[in-house]
Structures are given as C-alpha cells and as structure tokens.
Amino acid sequence: MRKTPILLLCFVFIYSCSQQENNEPFRLSAPEELGFTNEFERDLDLFFDEQISDNKIAGAVALIARDGQIALEKAWGWQDMEDERVMETHHLFRLASMTKSVTSVAILQLYEKGMLEFDDPVETFIPEFANPVVLNGYDAETGEYETRPASGSITLHHLLTHSSGIAYDFTHRELSAIYQREEIPAIVAEPGITLEEVMARLGRLPLAHDPGAAYTYGLSTDVLGRVVEVVSGLSLAEYFDQYIFEPLAMNNTGFYLPGRESDLTTLYSIQNGEFIRFTEESGTLNANFPVQDDLTYYAGGAGLTSTARDYFIFIQALLNGGEWNGIRIIENNTLEFMKTDQIGDLWNPNKFSYGLMLTTPEGAQEGLRPAGSLGWGGAFQTTYWIDPANEMVVVMMAQVIPSPYRDEFYNEFEKIVYRSLVN
C-alpha cells in the first residue's frame, strides 16, 4: 500500500483552512482553543495512517466542530487508491442511512405546517398500505407465504421509529426473498423507476410484525419519503432542495450529482480478508449511482450523496435548534421529537427518536459519547453524532462495504475525540 505524501496532505489541509477562513460563516479555530489537546490532530493522523496502511480503509475525511466553530477538517489517504488520487475535504461520499435524518426533518417540517399528524395512518397518503397483513409462514422452496391481518394500520409514528414492521433485506430473511422477487430496492433502481411505484408495491407486501410491536430496521424512512412527495406535491429531491439544502447552502448534497465523477470517492470492499475495489461483480450495487444523470429513484432512507462539510451544516443546524447562519429551517420545539425517546421499551439500552439514536445513561460507554448524544451512520462506512453536552458535532466519512472492521474503526476514532477533549 502506498502512503500519501506528507507534504501533499499538508497542502490539502492548509488549503482547506484558508478556504474556511475566507468563507463565512465557517469559523476555524485551533483545536486547543476549543478545548482539545495539542496532540489531537497528531493522534488522528496516526490513527488514520494506520488504518490506511493496514488496508482497512483507502481514505477518509473527518470534521469536528465545537461551539459552532470547526476545530478540525481534514482528509487522509486516497480518494482513488489505484489512480493515486489523494483524498480532499470537498470529495463526495455516499451517505446511505445518513439520509434518514434529512427525510425525518422533512416530515417534521410538514407536521409543523399542519399538513400531517404523527398518528396519521400511512394509507391516508399511500392507499396500497390499507389493510396491512403480517407474514405468518414462508416456504423457501416455493416462495409462497401465508399472512394474517395486522392488528392495525401503520402510522407515521411507526415509520419514524422503525416500529412499522417494514424490514430491510438484511434484517429479515423471509421478507428479503419477497422484496427481491417484487423488486423492492434499498438504495437505487433502474432508470425511470420512481418512489411512487415502488412504495405502492411495498404497501401490498406483508410485515414482519404488527405495527408498534417491535423495532425492525428497514425501509420505513423510504415510505416517509413518498409521504413527503404526496403531501408537498414535489419529488423528494425537489423538496429537499427547496426546503433544506438551498436554505442551508448545502450545495454539494443531492440524490444524484451528474458531472461530479472526479469528486466521487471510490468505494472499496473487504471480502475474504482481501481489500478490493468495489465492482458490480463484488456486490449487487452500481457504485457510480451518485453521479448518474438518468436515475429517478429518490430513496429517502439511503440515497443521498454529500460532503463532510455539507453534512456538518445540517447537523449543526439541528444542534442550533433548527437554524444555521441566520436561516431557520424548523422550530426548536418541533425538533424536540428528534431529541427525545419516541420508542420506549422497544429498543434498549439506547433509544430511538424521530430519526436518530439517542444515547442513554445506560447505553453510554466509558470513553465514548455521553448520554444525550444523537447520531446514526451509513452502510458505506460513514458516521456522525451530535453531542449537546459538549456543544460538539462530529462527521467522519470513509467508503468501505462490507467491512469487518467498521465498529472497531468507529470506536477507536470516537475514543480519540473524547480522549483529546480536555475542557
């Protein structure tokens, strides 16, 4: 594995800093001025260099901010290892499930405007979800299955908390087979396929359990994306642009960003212990979907592409109570639904709000984020969290799927952040 030239990495970081200093409202402060140790950046350098040299990632970008000021924004390693293209902070990453918080904010905006209620049945917006049924038996040889009537309708609350009974193909084996047969995508679909037609098909399929009976991570947020379309009269992409991305000047975020091939971070995979470039042969996904210009499927649970800087703006706005740089996208009292437990005993020891994981005192681990923190991540090895206790937001992005080292990678990065936070 080639090492990134130190002088080139330094140039990238210095260039990024100069851009921040000349581009309000981004304020860059030395890490020690924001309560981090003098060794913070060095420790991150050592960590990411080791991950790269051990073939666990090709490259990464991290942004850590406190009190609304950027303490560190830096890139390590390679955007494209084979072509020796160095990672830079403006490069694009596939967000996967980091999309879910954006869709959840869109639903909260519509709630705030009085256009929907959380206890509304989803069939109010998507008729095919009327009279839901629960899977009651499945024959793997024939693909035939039996169902029973569900105990009640799926509500928007169930969708926001992943208690609807709608699964992902990796969270429920039998439903996975049914979803594949019915061509229910998780992230991207063939050209011309729309959210409207896919969600209509999904609405006719069985659930894993009665609505509200359990937590099952799945396509619930994609259904919410279609609800946004129905209520607003806009495509999900148009709604995001008009009510979230453009107001916040998130100019590098979208479902598809054609013409940005040179900015898209290469996707890698670790399979059978080997670190390889992700191709359609090594998975079922076309890795270039973020920069295609003929795709029409807007997956509200997994489809967005963005930069670390853009996503920082979004989560900093959440920490700020709904505004960034004087622009408010949602009221603080509405955001309380995203900051408080909405799932009860269906998920322990941590909890789930409307779109985010809430760290509880029981779920907090020594050396990691404290209780009250909010966050989530994405399947392509991206993660973020909001730490109100320390007025801090963190975004870290790499691109590896699958990776047996992902949790270890996240935990060690997080430990460095908190070990370096001294006041």
Cα 326–Cα 300–Cα 292 angle in degrees, nearest 5: 95
Average pLDDT, the chain: 93
Domain that holds residue 83: 6-98+238-420
Give the angle 133-152-134 at the CA atoms, nearest 5°.
20
**Residue 87 DSSP symbol:** P
Are both 210 and 158 inside the same structural domain? Answer: yes
Span 267-273, average pLDDT: 94
Mean pLDDT of 40-66: 98
What's residue 7's pLDDT?
A: 42
Q: Supply the pLDDT for residue 279.
A: 85
Are 310 and 361 in a shared domain?
yes
Task: Give per-residue pLDDT as tens, 90-131.
Answer: 999 999 999 999 999 999 999 999 999 999 999 999 999 999
Please check whether residues 245 and 279 belong to one and the same domain.
yes
pLDDT (tens digit, 9 = 90+) per residue, 209-241?
A: 999 999 999 999 999 999 999 999 999 999 999
The phi and psi torsions of 402 (rounded to 5 degrees) equal: -80, 165
| Whether residue 360 sits in one domain with residue 243 | yes
Is the pLDDT at 167 greater than 70, yes or no? yes
Does 187 map to a domain? yes
Q: What average pLDDT score do residues 342-351 get?
A: 97
pLDDT tens, residue by residue, 297-326: 999 999 999 999 999 999 999 999 999 999
Considering the domain architecture, whether residues 252 and 349 belong to the same structural domain is answered as yes
Where are the alpha helices (H) located in 213-299, listed in sequence order?
A: 220-232, 236-240
Q: Which of 181, 199, 232 is the last residue of a domain?
A: 232
Same domain (yes/no): 356, 294: yes
Q: Enter the tokens of residue 123.
A: 């069939």
Domain endpoint, select from 176, 207, 232: 232
pLDDT at residue 1 in the model: 37
One domain for residues 157 and 243: no
**The dihedral formed by the CA atoms of 396, 297, 403 and 208, expressed in degrees to the nearest 10:** 110
DSSP, collapsed to helix, strand or coil, labels residue 262 as helix
Residue 200 placed within a domain? yes
Domain count, the chain: 2
Residue 24 pLDDT class (50, 70, 90 cuts): low
Question: Lowest mean pLDDT: which of 57-61, 241-245, 268-272?
Answer: 268-272
Q: Are both 41 and 106 inside the same structural domain?
A: no
**Is residue 32 exposed (0-12), middle (13-18) or buried (19+ Cβ within 10 Å)?**
middle
pLDDT tens readout for residues 402-414 = 999 999 999 999 9
CA–CA distance, 346 with 164 (Å, rounded to integer):
12
Q: Looking at the domain assignment, is residue 1 inside a domain? A: no
Give the SS3 label for residue 26: coil
Q: Is residue 320 part of a domain?
A: yes
Give 391's pLDDT tier (boundaries 50, 70, 90).
very high
202 lies in the same domain as 262 = no
Tokens of 32: 């020690």
pLDDT class for 2, splitting at 50, 70, 90?
Answer: very low
20 backbone dihedrals φ, ψ, rounded to 5°: -65, -45
Of 232, 258, 278, the position where a domain reaches its end is 232
**CATH number for position 250:** 3.40.710.10
Residue 235 is given by DSSP the state -
d(CA 147, CA 3): 56
Q: Is residue 13 part of a domain?
A: yes
CA atoms of 75 and 98, how far apart (whole Å): 20
The three-state secondary structure class of 134 is strand
Is the bond leading into 31 cis (omega within 30 degrees of zero)? no
Are 285 and 222 in the same domain?
no
Q: Cα separation of 173 and 216, whole Å?
A: 12
Answer yes or no: do 243 and 187 share one domain: no
Q: Are residues 228 and 134 in the same domain?
A: yes
Peptide bond before 247: cis, by omega within 30 degrees of 0?
A: no
Q: Taking Cα atoms as reference points, which of 51, 91, 58 lies closest to residue 74? A: 91
Token duo for residue 302 = 């997994």
d(CA 357, CA 37): 28
DSSP character at residue 191: T
